[in-house]
Amino acid sequence: MPAFDLPLAELERHRPEPAEPPDFDAFWRATLDGAASGDPLVSVREVATGLRLTRTWDVAFRGFAGDPVRAWYSRPAAIPTAEPLPAVVEYAGYGRGRGLPHTRLTWVNAGYAHLLMDNRGQGDQYGCGGDTPDPHASAPGGPGPAVRGLLAPHTYHYRRLVTDAVRAVAAVRALPGADAARTAAVGNSQGGGLALAVAGLVPDLAAVLVTAPFLCGIRRALDLTDASPYGEIAAYLSVHRDAEQAAYRTLSYVEGISFARRAHAPAHFGVGLRDTVCPPSGAYAAFNRYAELSGADPRKEIRAYPFNGHEGGDAVHVRRQLDWLHAEWGTAPGPVSPRPA
């Protein structure tokens, strides 16, 4: 697929004004206040994984409406839990669940405490499944998460999922051996959109690493691509022809550009310029407007991959993320191999 979005020089200047609802901040303040009471943790149980170098705990924490949300929490086995480690909260992609505890080991092998959040009501499309139901998914909408409850902001699936993502940060900070002052949000695709939302809603987040973020520049993306998940929204509106304005209003409350404008944390972005799943103009719009309303002036960087699609820089980009976060936190684990150019 050749490049289909704006040329790179235009992407670097792309700063669309999001159509923010006037009560955007009040909506999220009320939503998060309704989920913030009590101990964030429901249960923490160490599990056997067959791995000698990693310890893992099966965690349940309180998410939206106090619903229990599952996660895997892992640490390097050689480091006592009494020694706090910087923490990375990772969010999975669209249709995925948390899977099995041995499948995501990059961050724990880099020396961090790692929490991988399950996606409520997802997990049936890719990977090895999920363990968190969504008891509130009864509002009108299609079968896919992108359209569940689409006709009203209070019933939309992503109101619940973003709230879970914010509560995951509170959960990891309450777990043994996590350094609450050094907590990063990390994700790709849907996970990137969630990480960006967390950056806008958690003012003391220490870092955010976002790749190919979903829910950024939503209106433009719906005009550019029929690929899922945006294609699911378009398919729904092709049947429910009078629902367009209601859907746009709902989507304005989860627009990643709006979250990015409110962020404080240092940020690392990655984008494939041939990405037809999450068009690159959305990532650039979020990057270019990042932190403009927060009064912060954080370090930020974006890496573009001109010949790549939704996979972006793949393992090369992950290595760049590791280098960037090690440099940000001073956590480089001794001698390292040559960094990618």
Residues marked as catalytic: 189, 275, 310
Q: How many CB atoms lie within 10 A of CB 216?
A: 30
Retrieve residue 186's tokens.
């990390």
Size (the chain), residues: 341
CA of 193: how far to CAs of 50, 250, 321, in Å? Answer: 32, 16, 17
CA distance 337 to 316: 13
CA distance 320 to 322: 5
CA distance 119 to 121: 6
User: Residue type for 183, please?
Assistant: T
For CA atoms 171, 62, 141, 131, give the dihedral sign. positive
Alpha carbon of residue 328 to chain centroid: 19
Give percent helix, percent strand, percent coil of the chain, each to the nearest 5: 35, 20, 50
CA distance 97 to 132: 8
Residue 119 gets the label, from left (phi > 0), alpha (psi -120 to 50) or beta, of: beta
Three-state SS at 185: strand
Backbone φ and ψ for 301, nearest 5 degrees, come out as -150, 145
Retrieve residue 190's tokens.
């849907």
Alpha helices in the chain (DSSP H): 8-11, 24-33, 106-109, 157-174, 190-201, 218-224, 230-239, 244-252, 256-261, 280-288, 314-329
CA distance 191 to 115: 13
Retrieve residue 188's tokens.
């790709």
